């Protein structure tokens, strides 16, 4: 059509920033905290006892809430970036010296090992076409895993913030906000590849 100005659509600022990077990115969500000339502090929640410090040069794009309001932001960070994960906890000196300070990941390891043993037996039952028994055992093993992981979270003084999830990206993983149900699903998928 003559006389009409057909403007080229603008590329979204996030896409433009990610296209400039020669590596993958990880999306982190949270609330901006005090920053300095070298790092940006990002709190996952409004609880100020846990935060991540992100080197400014590794931030590909920082997106604030709609309309400039204060609130949760999205930070797209280079996948290879080394972040400082800070947790401020008050613990008895004796617990630190003796090493009894509970941690979710050290507790969750044995939960996964127990599930892996059960998964081996379940897969064996499936290979013998004992599907009904395999389904009963799988249901029981999932229940035990869920209870174990939740107990680990309840007893942990240091709560996990992020979950490393393997994927097909160049780095082989991305980070997601931690949740016990998501961690449980990843364990089940890892050990019971044919699970429903």
Using CA atoms, how far apart are residues 7 and 28, in angstroms rounded to an integer?
Answer: 34
Q: Is the pLDDT of residue 107 over 80?
A: yes
Instruction: Yes or no: say if 47 and 9 are a contact pair by the CB < 8 Å rule.
Output: no
Q: Is the pLDDT of residue 97 over 60?
A: no
pTM exceeds 0.85 for this model = no
CA 71 to chain centre: 20
Q: What is the mean pLDDT of residues 167-182?
A: 85
Using CA atoms, how far apart are residues 156 and 188, in angstroms rounded to an integer?
Answer: 22
Please report the pLDDT score of residue 98 as a whole number.
47
Domain spans of the chain, in order of start = 13-87, 93-191
More confident residue, 77 or 1: 77
Instruction: Give the rounded percent of residues in the chain with a pLDDT score beyond 90.
Output: 35
**Any idea what DSSP says for residue 38?**
S
Q: How many CB atoms lie within 10 A of CB 148?
A: 18
10-54 pLDDT, tens digit per residue, is 887 778 777 787 788 888 888 888 888 899 999 888 878 888 999
């Amino acid at each position: 059509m003559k006389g009409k100005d057909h403007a080229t659509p603008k590329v979204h600022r996030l896409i433009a920033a990610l296209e400039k990077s020669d590596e993958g990115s990880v999306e982190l969500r949270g609330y901006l905290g005090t920053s300095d000339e070298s790092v940006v502090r990002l709190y996952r929640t409004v609880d100020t006892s846990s935060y991540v410090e992100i080197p400014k040069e590794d931030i590909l794009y920082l997106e604030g809430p709609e309309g400039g309001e204060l609130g949760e932001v999205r930070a797209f960070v280079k996948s290879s970036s080394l972040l400082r994960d800070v947790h401020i906890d008050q613990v008895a000196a004796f617990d630190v010296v003796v090493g009894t300070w509970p941690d979710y990941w050290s507790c969750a390891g044995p939960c996964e090992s127990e599930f892996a043993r059960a998964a081996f037996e379940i897969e064996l039952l499936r290979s013998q076409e004992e599907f009904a028994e395999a389904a009963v055992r799988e249901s029981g093993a999932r229940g035990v895993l869920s209870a174990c992981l939740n107990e680990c979270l309840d007893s942990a003084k240091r709560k996990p913030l992020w979950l490393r999830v393997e994927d097909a990206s160049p780095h082989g993983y991305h980070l997601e906000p931690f949740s016990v149900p998501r961690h449980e699903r990843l364990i089940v998928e890892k050990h019971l590849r044919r699970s429903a």
